């Protein structure tokens, strides 16, 4: 199957595209579109995280669960929303933590493309969703694909900082070789759990400290 994706990822993941589960994803999306279902993000942005952060540029991974399911929010980058769209609650809590952690003013834009372009892979475990139906595509095969992505990063890279927020993300730790990568864990930034340990985790400054120890440039978290 010919998948439109940034070339380094397309090469690294080529074995996945002809597996039955990936064929199932494509068939499922085609069927839903045929019934006029609205799917987020738009087709051109489903692999946006890969296009913005080539495999050889990955230094940090922030793992989300599901794309936003409301209109105009999902843009193929976990937690990110386009310019002009108010930051959702979890993203606002990330900004609050950035403010207390590194003194960053809380931005008005929730567009995290700048992070992605610096090597922060903003990966959702599920890459599509039906409008207004959270987790509606959680079982169509995407997790097989994104698990393969995490394994590939773990195998081919060294010293990547994985930020695993919440139980769902932390279950992916088994895919990561912690002897060669850094895994930082905290509760999810959702308003339901941020106060139980996400606030005060200092993951943003700790990430930059871990990168600095490897002689790598820090992430400029300013939006």
29 neighbors 128 (Cβ within 8 angstroms): yes
End-to-end CA distance of the chain: 36
Phi-psi region of 132 (alpha: psi -120 to 50; beta: other; left: phi over 0): left
Annotated catalytic residue within 51, 66, 72, 83: 66
- What is the C-alpha to C-alpha distance for residues 82 and 20, in angstroms, rounded to an integer? 33
Tell me the C-alpha to C-alpha distance, in Å, between residue 211 and each of 153, 177, 194.
16, 17, 25
Give the whole-angstrom CA distance, residue 158 versus residue 140: 31
Residue 83 annotated among the catalytic residues of the structure: no
User: Bridge partners of 161?
Assistant: 60, 182
Cite the active site residues: 66
């Amino acid at each position: 199957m010919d998948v439109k994706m940034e070339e380094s990822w397309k090469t690294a993941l080529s074995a996945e595209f002809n597996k039955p589960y990936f064929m199932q994803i494509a068939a499922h999306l085609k069927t839903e579109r045929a019934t006029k279902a609205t799917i987020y993000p738009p087709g051109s942005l489903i692999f946006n995280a890969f296009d913005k952060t080539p495999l050889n540029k990955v230094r940090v991974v922030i793992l989300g669960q599901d794309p936003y399911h409301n209109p105009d929010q999902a843009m193929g980058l976990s937690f990110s929303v386009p310019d002009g769209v108010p930051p959702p609650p979890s993203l606002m809590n990330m900004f609050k933590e950035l403010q207390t952690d590194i003194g960053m003013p809380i931005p008005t834009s929730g567009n995290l493309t700048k992070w992605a372009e610096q090597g922060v892979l903003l990966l959702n475990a599920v890459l599509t969703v039906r409008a207004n139906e959270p987790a509606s595509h959680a079982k169509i095969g995407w997790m097989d694909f994104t698990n393969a992505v995490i394994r590939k990063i773990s195998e081919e890279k060294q010293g990547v900082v994985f930020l695993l927020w919440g139980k769902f993300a932390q279950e992916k730790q088994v895919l990561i070789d912690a002897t060669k990568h850094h895994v930082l864990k905290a509760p999810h930034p959702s308003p339901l759990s941020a106060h139980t340990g996400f606030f005060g985790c200092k993951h943003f400054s700790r990430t930059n400290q871990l990168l600095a120890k490897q002689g790598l440039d820090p992430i400029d978290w300013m939006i």
